[in-house]
Structures are given as C-alpha cells and as structure tokens.
Amino acid sequence: MPGFDHELQVRLFQKQPALAPLMLRDTIGFPVPDFARAELGCGDHTKLTPQSFKSDKVVVLYDHDCTKVLAIITEVQQKVDEDKPYTWPLYLATVREELRCPVRLMVVCPDNRTERWARTPIELETGGAVLRPAVLGPSNTPVVDDIDRAKRLPKLAVLSAAAHGDNPAVLKAAESALDGLPEHTRLVYYDFIESKLSAAARLMWEELMATGTYEWQSDFARKYVGQGREEGLEEGREAGLVQGKREALLRLLDVLPVSVGPDARRRIEECADSDRLDTWITRAVGVKHTDELFD
C-alpha cells in the first residue's frame, strides 16, 4: 500500500495539474507542445486481465481547439521497484490507445539512488524501441528561493524545500507560499518537508515555524495520536489529545485522499471519544469513502 510521502507527492500533481508539464519542459528538458489548459485524466489502466494496473496520475494537455496534444503519466516512485520497467510501458500503451495522443512518462523520485535507477533506459525490443522516462529528482528539482514564485506555485515550493532544505531561502519561500493554504493542508505539507530534511535543516525549519503565526506540528500522526497537543495546563491535556486526533484524522483523509463531506467532517470534529477516534484513524488507511470509516 502506498505510504504517506507517496500519496502527498501524488496530491501535489492532482491539486496543480499544470505542474507536470512545467516540470517536464522547464526542469527535465523534454519538449511539451503549446497547450491552453491541463486537467487530470484517468489513471486506471486495467484491461481484460485479472490484474489492475494504475498509474499515480495522468495529466492531459489540450490546445485552444480542445484537441488533446499530450498526456503526461506522473509516477511518484519512493524506491527502486524492479517491476516498474515492465508495467510502465503498459501504462503508456494503454493511455495512448485510450486518448489517441502522444504520451510521456514522468517519474518523481525522492532520493539520488531511486533517481539514478529511474533514468535507466527500458529496452522494449532487442536493438529496437527504448523507453527513456523523464525523471524529476534531487539533482534537477528547481531551487525555489523567490517568495513571489513560491506563492504562485506552492506545490513546486514544497518539492523544492524537500530537495533543497539546506538552503534557508528555499525554506523561507516555502513557508511563505504555504501561509495562505487551508490549515489542515498547510500542516500536512509542513510535516512532509520536515521529514525530508537533514538534522541541521530540520532545526532551521522548526525555528522558522516557531517564529511564525502557526504552531509547529512534526512527525505527523505520531505526535497527534501519541502525545496530543500540549495545552499548558494538566486539565487541558485530554482535550488537547482528542483535538489532536481529530486533526490527524482529517489530515490523513485529505492526503490519502478520501473525500470528506460536510456531514462526515462535522461528525469527526464533534467526536469527543478518544478510543473511537483511534479506531477511525486505524481504519482510514484502508477506506475509499467515509461511510466505510464509520461502519
């Protein structure tokens, strides 16, 4: 099952589809045709076989005449997976057949080892066609140290901070970019960045958060569920723990992602039963709808 970091990076491209062609063209250097808009396509590549093949995200580019000009399959690859050189060509062939337009595979990697592996050409036939994935990794992730640019592209600022966190200007730009996002989204991105930083960069990041207007939350659900939020008074600790679990659950559902309607959100926010919240948090990882969470 995909982990938290994987799902968060997938969500970056889901929230901002135009980020995929931007990275493909300006960072990785692959040509991208002129397009008027970018929108999400279907990532389910299942055919008439028992096995389901699903990429992380498909972004479809259209020109001004609403003609498809390119489909970008975005794969967030957290580690080396020897099955992918065999399934990735299937993704491309299936999307190309479904959309009847050119297709490009872009692989997003969190570390240098995975990036080097993902760049290995995939030979489709002996002496013939070769698939060369477009790879975004630490070596070519843009350095976003300009606050205005970071605010225009907050999802790119998140990727930049995770890759170049030793640069204080990059961290400051990311903090400024995330300042305007909804609180539950902002805290998820804060913690994702923190998890990718070196020890020295993590201290800078936490200090930056401590001097801002928002309380620093680290280690995602561990601190929420295991410790609660420190309220300062002993009589407030249980209330802080329950509130922390509510926030952790909502953040987890947002990242997975699971759609949370107004009724479900209200039910979570009004729940004062710590054990029940623990049960919902445990269930959340395996559900696709909040109805399954409450059953």
Where are the chain's structural domains? 4-136, 147-210, 221-294
Token pair for residue 173?
A: 């730009």
For residue 65, what pLDDT band results from cuts at 50, 70 and 90?
very high
Encode pLDDT of 85-113 as tens digits. 999 999 999 999 999 999 999 999 888 89
Encode pLDDT of 143-185 as tens digits. 999 999 999 999 899 999 988 988 889 998 998 888 878 877 8
Residue 280 has pLDDT above 60, yes or no: yes
Task: Report the pLDDT value the prediction gives residue 233, as an integer from 0 to 100.
Answer: 38
Task: Report the pLDDT value the prediction gives residue 75, as an integer from 0 to 100.
Answer: 93
Q: Which of these ranges, 55-59, 93-97, 252-256, has the smallest mean pLDDT? A: 252-256
